Amino acid sequence: MTTVWLGNRKAVEVTRKSDGSAERRPLKGKRCTTVSPPEGQPIGDTFTAITGAGGLWPYHSDAPAPAWVASTDPALAQLLASHYGCELRDPEA
C-alpha cells in the first residue's frame, strides 16, 4: 500500500456553512498531511489527485507547496518533490 506524507506548514480545516459554501480555517503549528491512495491506482492518477487544482494539497493547505515530501513509493516521492521544488525525505525518518 502506498502512503504519501506532505509537510504542511499552512494546514487548513474546511467546513461547510449552512448555505453550502466552504469556510477555510487555519490550523496552528506544523502538520503532516497523509495521503493513502487506493491500492493499484496508477502513479499519474495519484500525482494528479494530490497536485491538481481541486486536488488534495490545495484542499488541505494554503501553502503553494509542501515543505517536504516522503512516500513509500520512491518514484512518486521524487515526482512530487520535483514538481513542488521541495525537500525529499526518507519515509522511515
C-alpha closest to that of 69 among 55, 80, 56: 80
3-state helix, strand, coil in the chain (%, to 5): 25, 30, 45
Question: Is the pLDDT confidence value at 22 over 80?
Answer: yes
Question: Is the pLDDT confidence value at 6 over 80?
Answer: yes
Classified as helix, coil or strand, 81 is: helix
Name 5's bridge partners: 34, 70
pTM given for the model: 0.91
Question: Is the pLDDT confidence value at 1 over 60?
Answer: yes
Are 2 and 76 contacting, i.e. CB atoms less than 8 angstroms apart?
yes
Lowest mean pLDDT among 3-12, 15-24, 40-49: 15-24
Residue boundaries of the structural domains of the chain: 4-88
DSSP string, 7-46: EESSBEEEEE-TTS-EEEEE--S-EEEEE-PPTT--HHHH
